[in-house]
Amino acid sequence: MAGEHRNAKNATSRRGFLRTAVAAGGAGALIGPAAAAGNHANEPPNVPDWTRMLGDGVAVRKYGKPSKHEANVIRRDVAWLTATPQSSVSFTPLHELDGIITPNGLCFERHHAGIAEVDPADYRLILHGLVDKPLIFTLDDIKRMPRVNRACFCECAANSGMEWHGAQLNGVQFTHGMVHCVMYTGVPLKILLDEAGLKPNAKWLLLEGGDAAAMTRSLPLAKALEDCLVAYRMNGEMLYPENGYPVRMVIPGWEANMWVKWLRRIEVGDEPWQQREETSKYTDLLENGIARRFTFVMDAKSVITNPSPQSPLDHKAGFTVLSGLAWSGRGKIARVDVSLDGGRNWRSARIDGPLWDKALTRFYYEFDWDGRELLLQSRAIDETGYVQPTKDALRKHRGVNSIYHNNGIQTWYVHKNGEVENVEVS
Amino acid sequence: MSRCPSAAALAAALAAGLLGFAAAQGAAAPKSQPASQPAQAVEPAPAAKRLGIGRRATPAEIAGWDIDIRPDGQGLPPGKGTVKQGEALYLERCAACHGEFGESAGRWPILMGGAGTLASHDPVKSVGSYWPYASTLMDYIRRAMPFGNAQSLSNDELYAVTAYVLYLNDIIKDESFELNRSNFTSIKLPNQGNFVDDDRTTAEKEFWDKSPCMTNCIPGEARITGRARAIDVTPDDATAPKVE
């Protein structure tokens, strides 16, 4: 179709513009959004084909997909990060999304031994250890139990982990894309534990996945009883295989590594198991060689998703909406501040949409851009009074070797021509 | 098909602790959206009652999946293996990724070396330099190794390979040493004492700030001190996954 051809051409020329812009500013690569320019044949007073001819009927698209013009809205990986794609990560394209709910097909992936393709008919969950009656559940058993719905963010402890030494990846998808937020449906873990009956000396649980790494984490019993879910649906649908189909753990506010996917076993014990993922990994090595362990909570964090390196400002100046996400593992977001000058002056952003406990929270800041260069930052404050620190403030406490839990303030440098790059400022 | 829970089942669930959960959710609803989350009717909680869902797991079923090993030795399987036996196995099934001496091939995890580097600018976090417990090593080999052929080692092979990796780290010094269920907990790793429980709420107390600065917070104009572009490691479209 003519329109398609024109769009593709425009997309190419736009990318060409971005390449030129990048070359002028230094080495690097940008992934531009879909072309915005159109085809005059489709614009008034002309009448486009889609207004004159019949389109697909119902149920031609038995499972709907985004428009073909949105083909750029995909998860991406960073090939050099890991030795193999089976033990790796792909990132959510935060710059292509709005609101607070992540579409199921765009939730970041982190596997330790690839996706386990579990047959729901053969799915079993064993609950044993310090219980009165060890139990085994089928998927139907779990679906028969009382269930609840809850949206919460799920953030990998290593989100922004590549940025400890300085600005490294030029895109919010890569710097912050290991977070997503979906509405889970599941059974409170407490119901399963009550069903088995806890022994008085029960203090910790071991959660184990059914993947080829049999991924494990130790979970304190208090958290298990407080708000954890044994979840099987995301945004109403059954979990996707890459997100743990058919059953995963949901541990609100705590690091995603604990949200064991393809959950196959829960053991009740009296002390932590000191598994690989809570000793050699997911511990925070400090500058003095001491490491923090059991750093479960994800502290308050925010990032401006638009503009960002993959989503430049296309207009030269004028009314401009900054958009971003904020979240805290300690509760609700109380406020988000935005700076246009690298942290010298701050104004409070407007929070829009649901403001839920331990969920992504959307903020906007509208202003009249005069076309000047900007150094954009955002700063989340949660209901406990925790204020998202600068990266340098974090480094003062932890050095640069801790890999995990980097919730420092992100800076985007907006050039006069609207392109955006990941920088750090003094 | 899943069924809707009956009112009775919901009441039982509330009694079993769902109540606290539902309350937390109610609290999460924004004040500006009245009636969007009507408060759930909470009846006086009867005594906790089990749902009677699920059946008793048999000892054989549990034994087939219960593969975890704790530092105190809970979960250690029966078996034994020497460093020498482990070396042959390691070279055959592990060295391609981890290197002949545990030095790592490419980006695969390193297993040895790094003593004294944890406080440096280039810390090497190996079994010997970083890991706190030997049980973690055997547990992980048992559940996840060799990569792509998990849970394929016999218990004797498991002890042997574990012994060899400990030997590569000078934790076990004698090639003829036999690691087994009864001597396993005598193995200690040097970095065990260098872990502290999460202390962010005290150590980083300054991040809780009642009135964060809003104007003229830092003197002078901001200066760019680092740029991702200078490093040039961001993937472009050519390396992005293909979509249909």
Asked whether residue B33 carries a pLDDT value surpassing 90, the answer given is: no
Q: Could you say which of B2, B67, B232 has the minimum Cβ distance to residue A143? A: B2
- The confidence score (pLDDT) of residue B211 equals 94
Asked whether residue B166 carries a pLDDT value surpassing 50, the answer given is: yes
- Mutate one of B135, B195, B209 to test the A interface: name it (highest A CB count within 10 A): B195
- The confidence score (pLDDT) of residue B231 equals 87
- The confidence score (pLDDT) of residue A153 equals 98
Per-residue pLDDT averaged across B146-175, rounded?
97
Contacts of B224 in chain A (CB under 8 A): 375, 413, 423-425
- Chain A CA closest to residue B220: A344
Q: Could you say which of B5, B107, B194 has the minimum Cβ distance to residue A289? A: B194
Contacts of B71 in chain A (CB under 8 A): 274
Q: What is the pLDDT of residues A369-406, one digit of tens each?
A: 999 999 999 999 999 999 999 999 999 999 999 999 99
- Mutate one of B141, B227, B237 to test the A interface: name it (highest A CB count within 10 A): B227
- The confidence score (pLDDT) of residue A7 equals 37
- Mutate one of B207, B213, B221, B232 to test the A interface: name it (highest A CB count within 10 A): B207
Identify the CA nearest to A242 among candidates A148, A154, A151, A328.
A154
CB atoms within 10 A of CB B32: 8
Asked whether residue A251 carries a pLDDT value surpassing 50, the answer given is: yes
CB of A167 within 8 A of CB of B227?
yes
Question: Dmax of chain A from CA atoms?
Answer: 77
Contacts of B226 in chain A (CB under 8 A): 166-167, 423-424
Three state DSSP letters for B155-200 = HHHHHHHHHHHHHHCCCCCCCCCEEECCCHHHCCCCCHHHEEECCH
Under DSSP, is residue A223 helix (H, G, I), strand (E, B) or coil?
helix
Asked whether residue A50 carries a pLDDT value surpassing 60, the answer given is: yes
CB neighbours of B215 closer than 8 A, spacing ≥ 6?
Answer: A345, A346
Per-residue pLDDT averaged across A64-76, rounded?
97
Parallel, antiparallel or unpaired: strands A263-269 and A125-129: parallel
CB neighbours of B161 closer than 8 A, spacing ≥ 6?
Answer: B81, B86, B89, B90, B93, B94, B141, B145, B153
CA distance A321 to A58: 37
Taking the CA of residue A364 and the nearest CA in chain B, the distance in Å comes to 17
The answer to whether A274 faces chain B, any CB pair under 8 Å, is: yes
Asked whether residue A8 carries a pLDDT value surpassing 90, the answer given is: no
Q: What is the pLDDT of residues A171-222, one digit of tens each?
A: 999 999 999 999 999 999 999 999 999 999 999 999 999 999 999 999 999 9
Q: What is the pLDDT of residues B169-209, one digit of tens each?
A: 999 999 999 999 999 999 999 999 999 999 999 999 999 99
Query: How high does pLDDT run on average in chain B?
Result: 84
Phi and psi angles of residue A306, each rounded to the nearest 5 degrees, phi first = -145, 125
User: What's the burial of A422, exposed, middle or buried (CB within 10 Å: 0-12/13-18/19+)?
Assistant: buried
Rounded to an integer, what is the distance from CA B83 to the centroid of its chain?
A: 27
Residue B48: band (very low, low, confident or very high) from pLDDT cuts 50, 70, 90: low
Per-residue pLDDT averaged across B134-158, rounded?
98
Per-residue pLDDT averaged across B37-44, rounded?
43
Q: Between A36 and A217, name the one with better pLDDT.
A: A217
Contacts of A174 in chain B (CB under 8 A): 234-235
Query: How high does pLDDT run on average in chain A?
Result: 92
Q: Between B17 and A304, name the one with better pLDDT.
A: A304
- The confidence score (pLDDT) of residue B49 equals 76
Angle in degrees, 0-180, between the axes of helices B155-168 and B134-144, rounded to the nearest 10:
130
Q: What is the pLDDT of residues B110-133, one digit of tens each?
A: 999 999 999 999 999 999 999 999
Using the structure block, give the residue that is written with the tokens 């189909």.
A245
Asked whether residue A9 carries a pLDDT value surpassing 50, the answer given is: no
CB atoms within 10 A of CB B196: 15
Give this complex's ipTM: 0.89
Residue A271: band (very low, low, confident or very high) from pLDDT cuts 50, 70, 90: very high
Under DSSP, is residue A402 helix (H, G, I), strand (E, B) or coil?
coil
Residue A29: band (very low, low, confident or very high) from pLDDT cuts 50, 70, 90: very low
Q: Could you say which of B33, B54, B243 has the minimum Cβ distance to residue A74? A: B243
CB atoms within 10 A of CB A87: 19
Asked whether residue B25 carries a pLDDT value surpassing 70, the answer given is: no
Amino acid at site A213: A
Per-residue pLDDT averaged across A354-380, rounded?
98
Asked whether residue B12 carries a pLDDT value surpassing 80, the answer given is: no
- The confidence score (pLDDT) of residue B232 equals 85
DSSP state, residue B60? H
CA angle A109, A328, A231 (to 5 degrees): 50
The percentage of residues in chain B with a pLDDT greater than 70, rounded to a whole number, is 77
Amino acid at site A190: K
CA distance A336 to A332: 11
